[in-house]
Amino acid sequence: MSAKTAQDLVNSSVVQKYIENIDRDSEKALKTAKTVLGSSTVKLYSSTTLSEYKADRDRLDKCWGEFNGAWNKVMFGKARDSKELIKTYTKYVLALTALEEANAKHEAMMNAGFAALAATLLSLLADWIKEMHKRCKALEKDLKDLEKLLKKAQKEVTEAKWQTGLNIAVTAVSFCLGPVGWGARIGVALGGVAVHSVIDGALGPSSGSPLGAANTVAGESVELADKLSKGSKKLTGAASAVITLKMDTDEIAQAEKIVKEVRKKLNSVATEYDRLARATANWKTDIAKVQKQADAALNAYRSAVKKYKSHEKERQALLKEFKQWK
């Protein structure tokens, strides 16, 4: 086919329509990438994910330019054959398809707000773990000190009703040590989990939840809150019983000091335990709320990505027109 025929080919309505469509799609793809890359969402990306996305954008820009160069050679009768046109167009289509596919994920991620919610959830859980470790460790020490004091009182106060009350208190303290001991070391599953790794997990092919570790720790917040609530009821009840107990006159002199000490310590620890239980219940509610929002955003993101449809095969059809010119 002569150069003149080649010019006629590229100027045909069929070819022009193909080019018009693909150029329009390229402009749209680059504009979308610019919008996403300018959003706050990508600030939470890993450097690798961000670099790959930028590379997709730059590749399309480059391939588009190379194809336009080959196209202009044909238009001005400077091309000897269709090899360069076919080669550059093939790369152009592949680059456009790759960016469109990347855009489908990253734009959906931006619109769904999953990245920001994942970051909020991880931050909330980290703050909760930090507070639990601090308060539970302190309370664990207080409970152990109280347990020693109660056992000492059991030896010094022999009155039957006091023995019963002290036994109940010791049992309550023993029960309460379990939850605070766990709370002092809770959240191990979240160690080392960064928001960019969660986002990478969402962007990847896995259908599982990238919030696996976060969901595990969120579940622990529910369980710990329930255990602390039960412990608080037991300890508060035991404290109330001991504080209201009266002593016989013949025991007042020898046991008054330790009884006073037990009442003060028991009341103090029970009060702090109750405060912790209430605070943990509030944390549980806040964490559950953000967790629910993050899960909804993840579902919205995945639903949007599923709607993506590749047009690569349709665009490759133009190659048949180009191949008419050998």
pLDDT tens, 27-41?
Answer: 999 999 999 999 999
Structure tokens at 2: 């002569």
- Helix pair 114-156, 83-112: axis angle to 10 deg: 40
How many Cβ atoms from other residues are within 10 Å of residue 151's Cβ? 12
How high does pLDDT run on average in the chain?
Answer: 91
d(CA 15, CA 30): 22
Nearest Cα neighbor of 102 from 67, 60, 46 is 60
* Topology of the domain comprising 116-306: Dbl Homology Domain; Chain A (1.20.900)
What is the domain partition of the chain in residue ranges? 3-112, 116-306
For residue 1, what pLDDT is reported?
47
Question: What is the pTM (predicted TM-score) of this model?
Answer: 0.87
Determine whether 133 is exposed, middle or buried from the number of CB atoms within 10 Å of its CB (0-12, 13-18, 19+).
middle
Between 326 and 159, residue with greater pLDDT: 159
Structure tokens at 272: 């702090």
46 Rama class: left (phi>0) / alpha (psi -120 to 50) / beta: beta
Residue 74's pLDDT band (cuts 50, 70, 90): confident
